[in-house]
Amino acid sequence: MKIDLSGKIAVVTGSSGELGRVMALTLAECGADVALQYHTKAAPAEAVKARIIALGRKACAVQADITDRTSIEAMRDVIRKELGNPDIVVTSANNGAAAKPVLEQAPEDYLLSFRSAAIQNVLMAQVFVPSMIEKKWGRIIAISTEVVILAHAGQSAYTAGKRGMDGVLRVLAKEIGEHQITVNQVAPGWTISERDRLAGSEKQDHYDKNVPLRHRGEDRDIANAVAFLASDLARFITGVFLPVCGGNVMSSI
């Protein structure tokens, strides 16, 4: 048994990010062709594109604003021309405000977070789900965070945006499930990425001691969860909020 995404097309938003690029590469390693969305950082997306093509898969890098429907529709048209209609949508892009106490956070910061999280998923669904309905197969996988459960001080805007996203996605899972389209969330903990490896900052004792597994997860752990949820191995899983954080948070029943 293995994760086989051969013949599938994925679009990953935020593919210039530390986690987004690893998710995109992992999906390609599983056999998918991948469209890479970026907003301002073209060079990292192009680098991932080159690595995916080297794996023998197809890839394209597309600039888009994930909070603007017209921009997302233009991205869809490019992807359709280059690769086809996506079967898998991974919403990893995030544009959060600086962390501040609630009493100091500007209302505009909450709107920014909501647009980045909840509205991104609304628009991506509206633009890409219709073709999934035609195929009777699709995957929506949104990247959330353990912070929505931990509710850290200073993170109210970030938490509010992601919690709004959670509500959208749970409703969406019920609305489009009849078309064999699943909708799930992956919630990373404080994850080790290439930035940490270069800086030698993988170990964080003050955080690690509270994690049941006693260490931080790695970017590949998040990508593996995404690949699983994108596959037919997870065909009967929908509406799930999946923490990938070594047990640092545990969803209640």
96 CB-side CA count, 13 A:
17
Mean pLDDT of 114-136: 98
Does residue 158 have an active-site annotation?
Answer: yes
- The whole-angstrom separation of Cα 151 and Cα 241 is 16
135 pLDDT exceeds 90?
A: yes
Tens digit of pLDDT for each residue in 143-187? 999 999 999 999 999 999 999 999 999 999 999 999 999 999 999
252 CB-side CA count, 13 A:
2
User: In the prediction, which pLDDT does 153 show?
Assistant: 96
Task: Show the domains of the chain with their CATH numbers.
Answer: 9-244 (3.40.50.720)
Dmax of the chain from CA atoms?
52
State both tokens at 161.
Answer: 């945006």
pLDDT band at 253; cut points 50, 70, 90: confident
- Work out whether strand 181-188 and strand 88-91 pair parallel, antiparallel, or are unpaired: unpaired
95 pLDDT exceeds 90?
A: no
| Residues composing the chain | 253
Catalytic entry in 38, 110, 158, 207: 158
- The whole-angstrom separation of Cα 238 and Cα 180 is 10
Burial of 1 (0-12, 13-18, 19+ CB in 10 A): exposed
Predicted TM-score (pTM) of this structure: 0.96
Q: What is the mean pLDDT of the chain?
A: 96
